[in-house]
Structure 1
Amino acid sequence: MHTLFHHLTQTNTRSIYLSILRVALCLWLLKELTINWTSLELLYGTHSFLVAQNDILLTSIGVNIQYLREHYFVLIILYTTLVILYLLGIGRNLTAIFVFLLVELFQRMNNINLNGGDNLLKFMLLYLSFANTFQYLVLFNSHKVKKDPAVCNMLTNLAAYSIMFHLCLAYFISGISKAHADVWYNGVATYYTFSLERFKGTSYNEAIVSNGWIVLITTYATLLFELYFPVLIWVRKLRIPLIIVGICLHMGIYIFMMIYGFQIIFILTYGLFFTNEEYSKLFAFVKQRHPAIADFEMKYRRFLA
């Protein structure tokens, strides 16, 4: 127990990717906002296709969704501003908390088109609101020393592990659910999924499912991946091959099944399974091969100084 506590409090072991993840999630939120910009009135306004109902949680704290719908554009402007501030590292954890609260609010105002990625995204923002994700990729680099760096490091490391464990839990629950479904148990789920008009992402879908071996392998491979990912991902030698398989799986779903949203969110979490030391070795190798990247890093450091 003492060793674990020392590991959590000694240093922020994932500060590099936590900073990258913060930026990536903010860009994702801005991208989603841009795509839905012309439909905001339909999604959140008074003329929403959703029935105007008060959420139980929001009602219990005195918030009326109908009132929010009438002033939804003010919320959108506030939300956009906060996401940009969070992207730049301005306001730090306070900004992060407000971004999470607004994402939660918008999801409650329109929950009919949410998916598993939206759910994971919400929890990632919650976990990150307690973490120090501002050591890199910020507009203003603070030189202030934390009063208690041990507590900061512990909260940050716990936030990173929370995201990783949440991902493992999501995969395992999905795998258990699939294992109890006849089409997955019998190895034909890919055939029925690819045969649906809704999921025909390419003209090759029919040719793919016409091969029984491909159907059998892709069905059981998906099932086994989700069931064993939570265990095998912690084995260092298997980590990279498993993540490559995961990326191929999610990109396959993205391309062939036209299920876009949560694929990228799930892939983004994979980077947390590598530490600062591993990223530093990778960056050193890349800079050695590409001097232009090393020059850019030097100019960036001078800009922050």
Structure 2
Amino acid sequence: MKTLQTFFAKSFSPEFIVFFRIAIGIIVLVHFLSFWSDFDLLYTNHSIIPLELHTAYNTFDVLTIDKILGFLNGYFTENQSILLFKYTYVILCILIISGFFSRISAVFLLILQVSFVKSGSLFFYGADFFTSMSLFYIILFPSSSFFSLQQRLFPKLSRNVQSLTLCKRLIQIHVCIAYFFSGLDKILGFNWWNGESIWKAIHLPNLYKFVALGDYIQNPVFYIIFGWGTIIIELFYPLFINLNKTRKYWLILTISMHVGIILFFNLFFFSAIMIVWNLTSYYFNYYNETKTVPAHSPSVSGI
């Protein structure tokens, strides 16, 4: 009980919220701009894969992009409706980055993001799920209360009454659960034990990689080591990331794993979001204990 009280009693500086808001806003914006020119061919009635196929297995009715565009088509032309959707998405990202009513902006951006994710179920993957969860946390956290345009223009509206400790602990618990069950899922199968999953990912055809390991390394031991390394990092993440002596090393290992995913598997945005979650949860980790912390203690954020 005392440990639990200590867990929620320590206070945090708001730097992790500022970093999370700005970093997620930039990643979501760049991700959207990356398929700007192909948007019509992926998510509209001109899609190369009919939208009906994407939504054929939906078990309940959701607000999809074709419904939004259908509504807008009552007031604008089809091309104008698509441009309005795209520019609205970009503007909402910029509002989140600048901190101008970012929580309200995140609500509308989440609706738009989910609408085209559900409209392209054959295209989305882990990055899209974590984008949705990240926007939810921007809504949940006092994201406009610190280092924001809203705070400068409307200071009275930006007063924070939420517990930063609760916000910090919530995302820490979330990321620990995510990694643990990801590692548990891998160890329950056999594809990661024998390195098959790593081998398949590296040898995917027509997928550009910064480093084409498959062309140079054929020894199966290499893939087995990387498979087990991934399992160990994820499965033991909740333990070692929360121990003071091992936190720094496990954070470096985890971020290195995601950098490797970028280099070898080409999953830029998924890895970028996961790196942001790790830094938000466990990098900005000095406490504001002015009464108990010695005067010579570091005042900047770090591990």
Tell me, yes or no, whether TM beats 0.5. yes
Q: Tell me, in whole angstroms, the C-alpha distance in 1 between the residues paired with 2:259 and 2:180.
A: 19
Distance 1:132 1:215, change over 3 A: same
Distance 1:235 1:9, change over 3 A: closer
Q: Tell me, in whole angstroms, the C-alpha distance in 2 between the residues paired with 1:65 and 1:275.
A: 39
Shift of 1:282: 6.5
CA contact (8 A) 1:8 1:158 kept: yes
Q: Unpaired segments of 5 or more residues in structure 2?
A: 289-296
CA contact (8 A) 2:180 2:234 kept: yes
Pairing of 1:158-237 with structure 2 (within 5 A): 158-197=166-205, 201=209, 202-208=211-217, 210-237=218-245
Q: Given the alignment, which residue of 94, 106, 112 partners 1:96?
A: 106
- Greater Cα shift, 248-257 or 98-107: 98-107
Between Structure 1 and Structure 2, the one with more helix by share is 1
Distance 1:196 1:14, change over 3 A: same
Q: Report the residue type matching 2:61 in the other structure.
A: L
TM-score (norm 1): 0.77
Q: Given the alignment, which residue of 61, 64, 79 partners 2:67?
A: 64
Q: Deviations over 1:178-217 (max 9, x none)?
A: 2132232335543444344356722443323x34443332
- Greater Cα shift, 1-10 or 231-240: 1-10
Q: Tell me, in whole angstroms, the C-alpha distance in 2 between the residues paired with 1:148 and 1:136.
A: 9
Shift of 1:158: 3.6
Check if 1:111 corresponds to 2:128. Answer: no
Pairing of 1:143-162 with structure 2 (within 5 A): 143-144=155-156, 149=161, 152-153=162-163, 156-162=164-170
Distance 1:89 1:198, change over 3 A: same
Distance 1:2 1:127, change over 3 A: farther
Number of aligned pairs? 277
CA contact (8 A) 2:95 2:101 kept: yes
Shift of 1:256: 1.6
Q: Tell me, in whole angstroms, the C-alpha distance in 2 between the residues paired with 1:2 and 1:184.
A: 39
| Identical amino acids, percent of aligned pairs | 23
Superposed CA RMSD in Å reads 3.3
- Greater Cα shift, 166-175 or 189-198: 189-198
Distance 1:263 1:92, change over 3 A: closer
Q: Given the alignment, which residue of 123, 134, 151 partners 1:124?
A: 134
Q: Report the residue type matching 2:109 in the other structure.
A: V
Pairing of 1:255-294 with structure 2 (within 5 A): 255-271=263-279, 272-275=281-284, 277=286, 281=298, 283=300
Q: Unpaired segments of 5 or more residues in structure 1?
A: 286-305
Q: Tell me, in whole angstroms, the C-alpha distance in 2 between the residues paired with 1:134 and 1:19.
A: 8
Shift of 1:143: 3.2
Q: Tell me, in whole angstroms, the C-alpha distance in 2 between the residues paired with 1:135 and 1:276.
A: 19
Check if 1:47 corresponds to 2:46. Answer: yes
Q: Tell me, in whole angstroms, the C-alpha distance in 2 between the residues paired with 1:135 and 1:65.
A: 31
CA contact (8 A) 2:8 2:165 kept: yes
Q: Tell me, in whole angstroms, the C-alpha distance in 2 between the residues paired with 1:146 and 1:160.
A: 19
